[in-house]
Each structure stands twice: as structure tokens, then as C-alpha cells.
Amino acid sequence: MIALLQRVSRARVEIGGESIAAIGQGLLVLVGVERGDDRRSAERLLERLLGYRVFADEKGRMNLSLAQIEGGLLLVPQFTLVADTRKGTRPGFSRAAGAHQGEELFDHLLACASESHAPVAGGIFGADMQVSLTNDGPVTFWLQV
């Protein structure tokens, strides 16, 4: 699984002009599911997201995790993260999980996150979403499990 995480001061997902998910300070995470990923991959990714130290401590160093600051977690499915862009002028998606597997694993990640952290919000798999954010820093990291 791939996660593009962004430290945000706020983030929101809209569908058809209606806000369906929003957080304040925390992480906006775009999630891509690859062929071969499984529930353990989703659980390991969540462990990393909650424990990854990207928030400033009292000395201004990135030394605190999302769990430590009790920040929001906004998970958004984005299959284009797994695109193969190494050649040509059109991305290939042969590495992407099928729609059923991708949705099942994203939903599992969202459910596990909701059980172990608050606040948690999520986008909707397969929906045409508009995502807005204020990237704090900017701070953006790519995680892959």
C-alpha cells in the first residue's frame, strides 16, 4: 500500500459541492492499493501513519506523531498513486489492485483507524471527490508498506 501523507492545518473532501469529511490539524493521507496488498498491509500502514513523527515538538523539531498530538486523520482513496509513469506519456495502472480489492482494503484501513484513533474521516472509494487542504510547512511524505 502507498500513502502520500501531508501535514495539514485543515483539510476537506467534497462530493457534488457537499462536504463529506473534514479535519483540522492533522494528516491528509492519499491511499493507493497495489496488487498483492492485504489486510496486514493496511494495518501496518495505519501503524506507521499514527506513529510517524512529523509534528513539531517544543524545540520546533519534527518529533511528535499524529497520535501524540491527537490530530485528525483524513484518509482518501487515490488509485492513481500506483500508476507506472516510467515511460511514455500516459500512466499505466497494471500495478493497481482491482476495484473490489482496493475498496475492501481501503474500507478496512478506515475501519481500523476509526477504532484506534479519533478524529478520523474518510473519502469514498470510486467517487469523484474534490479535496482541499492547507499543507502545513509544507510537509509531505511518501510511505509504502
pLDDT over 90 at 100, yes or no: yes
**Model confidence pLDDT, tens digit, residues 39-98:** 999 999 999 999 999 999 999 999 999 999 999 999 999 999 999 899 899 999 988 999
Any idea what the CATH number is for the domain that residue 124 is in? 3.50.80.10
Q: Provide the percentage of residues in the chain whose pLDDT is more than 90.
A: 94
- Candidate list 25, 55, 68, 79, residue with the active-site label: 79
Write out the residue range of the structural domain in which residue 18 sits.
2-144
Predicted confidence (pLDDT) at residue 112 exceeds the cutoff of 90 = yes
pLDDT given for residue 6 in this prediction = 98
Q: Give the global pTM.
A: 0.95
Mean pLDDT of the chain: 96
Q: Is 134 a catalytic residue?
A: no
Instruction: Examine the residue annotation and report whether 141 is marked as an active-site residue of this protein.
Output: no
Q: What's 131's DSSP letter?
A: E
Q: For this structure, is 78 an active site residue?
A: yes
pLDDT exceeds 90 at position 140: yes
What is the model's pLDDT at position 84?
87
Contacts 24+ apart (CB under 8 A), 14-23: 14/129, 14/130, 14/131, 14/132, 15/124, 15/127, 15/128, 15/129, 15/130, 20/123, 20/124, 20/129, 21/74, 21/121, 21/122, 21/123, 22/74, 22/121, 23/71, 23/72, 23/73, 23/74, 23/119, 23/121
Look up residue 80 and give its three cell numbers.
492513481
6, 25, 55, 78: which is the annotated catalytic residue?
A: 78
Which of the following is catalytic: 80, 85, 93, 130?
80
Q: Count of domains in the chain?
A: 1
pLDDT for res 22: 98
